[in-house]
Amino acid sequence: MALAGVRVIELAGLAPVPFCGMILADFGAKVIRVDRTKVAMALDTQARGKRSVALNLKSPEGVAVLKRLCVQSDVILEPFRKGVMEKLGLGPEELLKENPGLIYARLTGYGQSGSYAKAAGHDINYLAMSGLLSMLGRSHDKPYAPLNLVADFAGGGLTCAFGVVLALLERTRSGRGQVIDATMVEGAAYVSSFVWKSRRIGMWNNPRGENLLDSGAPFYDTYQTSDGKYVAVGAIEPQFYTQLIHGLGLDAAKLPPQMSFTDWPELKKIFTKQFATKSQEEWACVFDGTDACVTPVLSMDEVISHPHNQERASFHRDAEGEVTPNPAPVLSRTPANVCLDRDPIIGEHTRPVLEEFGFKPTEVDQLLSAGVIECNSARARL
Ligand SMILES: C[C@H](CCC[C@@H](C)[C@H]1CC[C@H]2[C@@H]3[C@H](O)C[C@@H]4C[C@H](O)CC[C@]4(C)[C@H]3C[C@H](O)[C@]12C)C(=O)SCCNC(=O)CCNC(=O)[C@H](O)C(C)(C)COP(=O)(O)OP(=O)(O)OC[C@H]1O[C@@H](n2cnc3c(N)ncnc32)[C@H](O)[C@@H]1OP(=O)(O)O
């Protein structure tokens, strides 16, 4: 796999850094998640392919252990607010001194500088600060955050993983590591560059929810079908819009022009009425195989059985039998290889990992009896 041989130390965090660690693990990196001790359950729901070491970083011995792990690793992923690692004596200055090739990825909401740097926050706060949240939501409604996807994951974990790969590539030339200051405000803003860069062509001149791609256009929205399900319509170009009108059984001559903004509410009413006359499956029979850009809105459990997704094997069932997306993108020669094992128990791999990194069994025993580490076994949890 593309990241085979890359060693990553992931400090346990809430959602963005776990996603970054999962991406790196999916594509072949050896990811060791460093968990707190005395914690019942991991918060990490994106733990596949990782190993867990339970380590108390509030002890000098624990700090020494982490330093030894980082000296032999390529990447450290840090999920804490500004200053926490420095307080522990584990800041970039210390760790890069001992391992100049280390890539020190710091994924925060607001970054390592700026007046908000030490403030707590979550996806919705970062999305708000990026400017993008002001653009999201239906007409005459308040701004709406699409789950915690844009800041936490698109602009957070994924962008950070991109930064790690960039730094790994650069290190092949320079031999040197560096610090990645990944912030979710900037990441969310960056992944939405299209919105910023298309303002000048008038794409967003109308109020929120009344533009082409923000649920304002009748040909770019969702519609309920007779069985209470939904279809998604994305017929933007005129040649696709023509096929939409045909599939709906409407007479284009009797409709207002597609791009007549002021007629969009009326057109939306007509489409709503039409889509309510058939079930989702019946509309799929009408539109599958056409370029009308109409697709079923599939539930998270339906996606795995849709023929297209099945043909590509885009989803799999994990160890718990839950539907799970496969890694993306698909590399032809070195594709990702999803770990289907169950998620690690906190501290499950403390001993094997420490010994793999050169700790003598007696050292591990001493750290264990001093409460610096925890070694838990899956059997003990059953
Ligand atoms: C929208 C998302 C958030 C979604 C979160 C949900 C996924 C989860 C929220 C609640 C969870 C459920 C709940 O817990 C109940 C169940 C529990 C069960 O165990 C599992 C199932 C649950 C249902 C569980 C399920 C889910 O997990 C939940 C629903 C986001 O937006 S996430 C993005 C958040 N923001 C960032 O990541 C930006 C950067 N980080 C920060 O700003 C801060 O970390 C943050 C997030 C504000 C938290 O601040 P906090 O004060 O808590 O921490 P920090 O200031 O960062 O300091 C960390 C301290 O911890 C010490 N430390 C770290 N590692 C160790 C260690 N190994 N040993 C010892 N100590 C350690 C570190 O030294 C710091 O100590 P100090 O504070 O003294 O300096």
Which tokens is 198 given?
Answer: 């298309």
The predicted model gives 319-339 an average pLDDT of 94
Residue with tokens 């320079």: 174
Protein residue with its CA nearest to atom 15 in ligand 1: 43
CATH code for the part of the protein at 7-191+317-374:
3.40.50.10540
pLDDT at 377: 86
CA distance 360 to 318: 35
Name the pTM for this structure.
0.96
Binning pLDDT at 50, 70 and 90, where does residue 194 land? Answer: very high
At 380 the pLDDT is 53
> Ligand 1 mean position to 22 CA, how many Å?
17
Structure tokens, 90? 């584990």
Instruction: Supply 251's token pair.
Output: 């007479």
Of 22 and 377, which is predicted with more confidence? 22
Whether the pLDDT of residue 41 is over 90: the answer is: no
Q: Find the mean pLDDT for residues 283-312.
A: 97
Give percent of the chain above pLDDT 90: 96
The gap between the terminal CA atoms of the chain, to the nearest Å, is 33
Pairwise CA distance, residues 312 & 174, whole Å? 39
* Protein residues with CB under 6 Å of any ligand 1 atom: 11, 13-16, 34, 36, 40-41, 43, 55-58, 79-81, 84, 87-88, 108-109, 120-123, 148, 152
Q: For residue range 199-258, what is the model confidence (pLDDT) as tens digits?
A: 999 999 999 999 999 999 999 999 999 999 999 999 999 999 999 999 999 999 999 999
CA gap 200, 304 in Å, rounded: 40
Domain boundaries of the chain, sorted by first residue: 7-191+317-374, 220-310
Whole-number pLDDT of residue 379: 65
- In angstroms, the CA 38 to CA 60 distance is 17
Q: Are strands 373-374 and 50-55 parallel, antiparallel or unpaired?
A: antiparallel
Both structure tokens of 344: 């690690």
382 has a pLDDT exceeding 50: no
Q: Report the nearest atom of ligand 1 relative to the CA of 55.
A: 67
Confidence grade of residue 319 (pLDDT, cut at 50, 70, 90): confident
Q: The domain 220-310 is classified under which CATH number: 3.40.309.10, 3.40.50.720, 3.40.50.12780, 3.30.1540.10? A: 3.30.1540.10
pLDDT in tens, 56-109: 999 999 999 999 999 999 999 999 999 999 999 999 999 999 999 999 999 999
CA 16 / ligand 1 centre spacing (Å): 11
Mean pLDDT of 175-179: 98
- Report, as an integer, the average pLDDT of 148-160: 98
Q: What separation in Å is there between the alpha carbon of 321 and the centre of ligand 1?
A: 27
Give the pLDDT mean for 132-152.
98
User: Which atom of ligand 1 has the smallest separation from the CA of 39?
Assistant: 19
pLDDT (average), residues 182-190: 98
Q: Please give, one letter per residue, the 3-state secondary structure of the chain.
A: CCCCCCEEEEECCCCHHHHHHHHHHHCCCEEEEEECCCCCCCCCCCCCCEEEEEECCCCHHHHHHHHHHHHCCCEEEECCCCCHHHHCCCCHHHHHHHCCCCEEEEEECCCCCCCCCCCCCCHHHHHHHHCHHHHCCCCCCCCCCCCCCHHHHHHHHHHHHHHHHHHHHHHHHHCCCEEEEEEHHHHHHHHCHHHHHCCCCCCCCCCCCCCCCCCCCCCEEEEECCCCCEEEEECCCHHHHHHHHHHHCCCHHHCCCCCCHHHHHHHHHHHHHHHCCCCHHHHHHHHCCCCCCEEECCCCCCHHHCHHHHHHCCEEECCCCCEEECCCCCCCCCCCCCCCCCCCCCCCCHHHHHHHCCCCHHHHHHHHHCCCEECCCHHHHC
Angle at CA 109, nearest 5°, toward 103 and 113?
A: 75
**pLDDT tier at 320 (50, 70, 90 boundaries)?**
confident
